[in-house]
Structure 1
Amino acid sequence: MKDTSKFPSPVYQETVLQPIFNTFKAEYYRDMMAVNYAHLVMLTEQGILKNEEGRLIAAALKEIEGEIDPESLEYTGEYEDLFFYVEKQLIKKIGVEIAGKLHTGRSRNDLNITLFKMKTKEYLRGLLHELLSLQSTLLELAEENKEAIVVAYTHGQPAQPTTFGHYLGALIEILLRDFRRLVSAYGTADQCSMGAAAITTSGFPLNRERMAELLGFARPQENSYGCIAAVDYLLEVYSAVKTLFINLGRFAQDLGFWTAFEVGQLYVPNEFVQISSIMPQKRNPVAVEHIRVQASLIVGLCDGVVNSLHNTPFTDMNDGEDPLQAVAYEALERGVRCLRLIAGFTGGLKVQEERVGRNIAESFVTITELADSLVRAEGVSFRTAHEVCSHLVRQLLSQGGTLDKLAFEDFRLAFEEVTGRQPTISEAQLNTFLDPKNFVQVRRVFGGPSPEALSASLGRYRNELQAQKEELAGLEGRITLAAAKLQEAVSQVLKG
């Protein structure tokens, strides 16, 4: 008969503790040792540990670091988790009376939450770096295509001419906002939980500000209950990540549509084209499909994180800990790969001008500017001008004609029929009004596609991108500085 009186049961070890142990040794060992050192420094500086006790613990931790290869560790069931494994090695070296003092004023609760936040921030900085790289690629591509005309679609149908640069500018704006959303979420995760202990802090005179500083956090999270119970840092991070990849998934939809044979606005270089195994004529832009499915998988993973926290108690609970964190990190890892793929793919795209010209002629998309120009040149109302243009479109469609082949006489007759008088514009003016380049050039309004308006927009995007790069560098610099401070502080402890 099985002994059911002792924790943990074999099935709990196999299904819960062993996977957590393996995750901790891969993801958290380095950060866990950093927290050990920081806590040791703080306890010593606060006089909670005597200098000699601090020196002995620091020296023993250094020895353990040199002896342990976390990758080679195997879960045996002897220790519940990696924390207890390291603590046991420390006790073996200097005895429980001194080694046991390292855990003064802390709990696995505040330790684990802090580790989760440190790892979340690390992955998030990697994602932000790739996002900035993608934005740089898109800005360069937009600059190169400020005057490269494409057809803009609404409701899946050709709508108006714009430029590829103008289209990319819309995406760049979104990604600039996505960066701000992610940095805001980073700021929520950038509040240290150490010192909250189990949930109510401690009677020992802990210095929570010092712990935050040594571990590279912006500040300690204030309310100790919230340090342990609040999971809004996860909700905020993965809602922002989800938003980013929904935005990029919509872009991928356009890439698939615009590179399709029937539309053909964009040419995909051969390095991103897979040839059919049976149909030699096929050029399959498979990268688009991988971008789309990766974006969808990331959105699904983010939903999994957020939804798993629904209706959980507002207290310490395992629902927001290791198993969920592993899913969360996968979303960020996939996100990094997806951003790299998008940057590599989009960097080689080319506008197929001849195909775009044919699409414009066949879809009549410059007719809006003819209506606008008639308002200005002929002094008629927009509704009257719209009726003239509608008449022309119906006539051309019935004849199987295209807008670039519109005869001035047909225009003259349509104008006279609607307005009761002859037009004053010339044939040359008519052709200018129907020219897609003119369509773009006259749209000089703030945010429009004209070369002047777009250049101004891209300049603003570039300035904001530079500011974002500096902001990320500041976040990364604080981590580097904290590591140096911690190393120096440990050296001081070792001197006794």
Structure 2
Amino acid sequence: MRWHGVYRRFVLAPHYRFARERLVPHFFDALTAYALELARLGIPKAKEAVFALRELRTLPLPSFTGEVEDVFFSIQLQLSEHWGEEVAGAVRRGLSRNDLDLTVFRAYLKDQVLGLLGDFLRLRHALLRLAEAHFGVPLVLATHHQPAQPSTLDHYLLGVEALLERDYRRLVQALSTLDRSPLGASALAGSPYPVDRVRLAHLLGFQGPVEHTLDAVAAGDYALELAFALAGLGTSLSRLLTDLLAWAARGAFVVGESLAQGSSFMPQKRNPVVLEHARIRAGSLVGGAGVLAYLNHNTPFTDLNDHSTGVLEPLASLLAEAEAALALTRVALEESRFEPGLLLEALSPEVLASEAVDFLVRRGVPLPEAYRRVRGALPGVRPELLGVEREELVAWMGLEAFFARREVLGGVGPRARGEALKRAKKRLREDRKALAALRARVRLARRRLLTEDPEGLGEEGPKPKDQEG
């Protein structure tokens, strides 16, 4: 078949290149698992197909020539040429590109997400190390862009880590939706052969199958859920990066030399560009969710390229942007330093005015009256206008006393911060164990695919036609 040049250029060739570069191992995994299941059912030549696929996967797949339209048919052509049409045809019994492609796409994306979760854990670890290293370092935080209350750097960092930990949970949840196999759904109605779809899923290291066969090939929500989880991550990272840039602007956060760039015109400048580049990547994650939504919007509930092949490359790009955003943010934190004095430069009596109100209330002054008195004593919260002793007010409004009064759960009190750090470390350890278990499940399944012997075939399997004696 001679494909039109425009169709070859914009559809067939780029899709083939993407699949050849990234998806080929997953195609062989899925085809091998399906051949193993057909061999279990006694389908002729399925056993031979298992060994043929195992050998063929060790050889490079041809580049795109236009002879076949995609990687699946390229594999089929190689099987047919070297092992015969019966072997090539055996593995296609009841198999559609619909369930095969979507199984491959999910397997590829799952691998990428598992890698990204590792990057995510490294960033969370970096935040907790910084919080521990800067335990008790005071700073002034703002509300509505105005200096509001004292806090500590570790309290701030633990708050950011708590936000990112929820983003991590959302990404794990998206992975749980993704971690289901469509294989055996065939075109949409299910395979005409009694394949065990649960076994197929487990052979490929999936948590289980997508239960409904139409849902297995028609659903695009796995891609949407992943894109929106990444958008949430991008939003959270951009907020942290915006704070770091604001601190960098006044010298309170000094970006490491290896991550800063000079000016082409102003020799005195060292620009904290790593934070800008990280925020660009984070912004790309937010925008990517709209692309995925549009690819699913107004499409019928059936197998379509819009929400199958069409979402794969945008999702792959988003995952690459997420990897970059996480890594750039992490190294910016690890290779830079905070300047404690400049973090606290906004401290003033006005920042602690709410403490003066509380001081009066505890002495029996009604709260509305205390509030009016303190406002009238500004600027400077002058004790003579409050009718209190300066020494008592100064002691009450000191940073140490401010922190000591806030030992509530999650508060800025020293004990509360220490307990929060312990809990965050525990959650991180548990997440590492869970991720290791997920990765182990996938590795074990792949080892089985390459070693499981279809009953009665023997260890060597059939020889390619060009090697037969």
Q: TM-score interval w.r.t. the shorter chain?
A: over 0.9
* Partner residue, 1:365: 351
Paired AA for residue 99 in structure 2? D
**Counterpart Cα distance in 2 of 1:133 and 1:74:** 37
* Partner residue, 2:112: 123
Question: Are 1:335 and 2:322 counterparts?
Answer: yes
Paired AA for residue 12 in structure 2? L
Once the two structures are superposed, the pairs formed by residues 290-305 of structure 1 within 5 Å of their partners are 290-305=277-292
Q: Which secondary structure state, in structure 2, belongs to the residue aligned with residue 206 of structure 1?
A: coil
Question: Are 1:249 and 2:212 counterparts?
Answer: no
Indicate the percent of aligned positions where both proteins have the same amino acid: 33
Question: Are 1:392 and 2:380 counterparts?
Answer: no
Residue of structure 1 aligned with 2:86, choices 87, 90, 97: 97
Change (3 A) 1:338 1:358: closer
Retained in 2: the 8 A contact 1:302–1:328? Answer: no
* Partner residue, 2:409: 446
Structure 1 residue 429 displacement after superposition: 2.1
Change (3 A) 1:435 1:318: same
Residue of structure 1 aligned with 2:421, choices 436, 458, 469: 458
Question: Are 1:158 and 2:153 counterparts?
Answer: no
* Partner residue, 2:48: 56
**Counterpart Cα distance in 1 of 2:358 and 2:458:** 79
Question: Are 1:30 and 2:9 counterparts?
Answer: no
Paired AA for residue 361 in structure 2? V
Retained in 2: the 8 A contact 1:127–1:336? Answer: yes
Structure 1 residue 254 displacement after superposition: 1.1
* Partner residue, 2:445: 482
Paired AA for residue 382 in structure 1? L
Retained in 2: the 8 A contact 1:54–1:494? Answer: no
Retained in 1: the 8 A contact 2:275–2:328? Answer: no
Retained in 1: the 8 A contact 2:295–2:310? Answer: no
Question: Are 1:223 and 2:212 counterparts?
Answer: yes
Q: Which secondary structure state, in structure 2, belongs to the residue aligned with residue 313 of structure 1?
A: coil
Once the two structures are superposed, the pairs formed by residues 190-209 of structure 1 within 5 Å of their partners are 190-209=179-198
**Counterpart Cα distance in 1 of 2:153 and 2:293:** 36
Cα deviation, 1:54-110, whole Å, max 9, x if unaligned, reads 3432333244233x323xx32111111111111111111232133211111110000
CA RMSD, 1 decimal? 1.9
Question: Are 1:287 and 2:274 counterparts?
Answer: yes
Retained in 2: the 8 A contact 1:90–1:99? Answer: yes
Structure 1 residue 30 displacement after superposition: 0.8
**Counterpart Cα distance in 2 of 1:321 and 1:20:** 12
**Counterpart Cα distance in 2 of 1:147 and 1:88:** 66
Once the two structures are superposed, the pairs formed by residues 36-75 of structure 1 within 5 Å of their partners are 36-47=31-42, 49-50=43-44, 53-66=45-58, 68-70=59-61, 73-75=62-64
* Partner residue, 2:466: none
**Counterpart Cα distance in 2 of 1:15 and 1:60:** 32
Which range is displaced more, 6-15 or 122-131? 6-15
Question: Are 1:18 and 2:13 counterparts?
Answer: yes
Change (3 A) 1:231 1:472: same
Question: Are 1:415 and 2:386 counterparts?
Answer: yes
Paired AA for residue 384 in structure 1? E
* Partner residue, 2:306: 319
**Counterpart Cα distance in 1 of 2:275 and 2:218:** 41
* Partner residue, 1:399: none
**Counterpart Cα distance in 2 of 1:348 and 1:16:** 43
**Counterpart Cα distance in 2 of 1:38 and 1:351:** 53
* Partner residue, 1:420: none
Change (3 A) 1:251 1:94: same
Retained in 2: the 8 A contact 1:138–1:172? Answer: yes
Retained in 1: the 8 A contact 2:140–2:149? Answer: yes
Q: Which secondary structure state, in structure 2, belongs to the residue aligned with residue 103 of structure 1?
A: coil
Structure 1 residue 217 displacement after superposition: 0.2
**Counterpart Cα distance in 2 of 1:9 and 1:356:** 63
**Counterpart Cα distance in 2 of 1:142 and 1:372:** 29
Q: Which secondary structure state, in structure 2, belongs to the residue aligned with residue 320 of structure 1?
A: coil
Paired AA for residue 327 in structure 1? P
Cα deviation, 1:357-386, whole Å, max 9, x if unaligned, reads 43212x72122222222222x221222222
Q: Which secondary structure state, in structure 1, belongs to the residue aligned with residue 148 of structure 2?
A: strand
Count of residue pairs the alignment pairs up: 459
Paired AA for residue 25 in structure 2? R
Retained in 2: the 8 A contact 1:37–1:490? Answer: no
Once the two structures are superposed, the pairs formed by residues 431-442 of structure 1 within 5 Å of their partners are 431-442=394-405
Q: Which secondary structure state, in structure 1, belongs to the residue aligned with residue 412 of structure 2?
A: coil
**Counterpart Cα distance in 1 of 2:258 and 2:115:** 26
Paired AA for residue 411 in structure 1? P
* Partner residue, 1:345: 332
Structure 1 unaligned segments of length 5 or more: list them.
1-5, 397-402, 417-422
Retained in 1: the 8 A contact 2:16–2:71? Answer: yes
**Counterpart Cα distance in 2 of 1:11 and 1:354:** 62
**Counterpart Cα distance in 1 of 2:165 and 2:107:** 24
Paired AA for residue 385 in structure 1? A
Cα deviation, 1:255-300, whole Å, max 9, x if unaligned, reads 1112212xx4333333333232332332321111111111111221
Q: Which secondary structure state, in structure 2, belongs to the residue aligned with residue 371 of structure 1?
A: helix
Structure 1 residue 490 displacement after superposition: 4.3
Change (3 A) 1:332 1:490: farther
Change (3 A) 1:174 1:356: closer
TM norm structure 1: 0.88
Which range is displaced more, 204-213 or 347-356? 347-356
Cα deviation, 1:118-156, whole Å, max 9, x if unaligned, reads 011111111111111100110111122221111111111
Q: Which secondary structure state, in structure 2, belongs to the residue aligned with residue 443 of structure 1?
A: coil
**Counterpart Cα distance in 1 of 2:46 and 2:214:** 29
**Counterpart Cα distance in 2 of 1:19 and 1:358:** 55
Cα deviation, 1:321-346, whole Å, max 9, x if unaligned, reads 33421111111011111101111111
Query: Greater CA radius of gyration, 1 or 2?
Result: 1
Structure 1 residue 491 displacement after superposition: 6.8
**Counterpart Cα distance in 2 of 1:11 and 1:351:** 55
Which range is displaced more, 426-435 or 15-24? 426-435
Residue of structure 2 aligned with 1:383, choices 359, 362, 368: 368
Retained in 2: the 8 A contact 1:116–1:325? Answer: yes
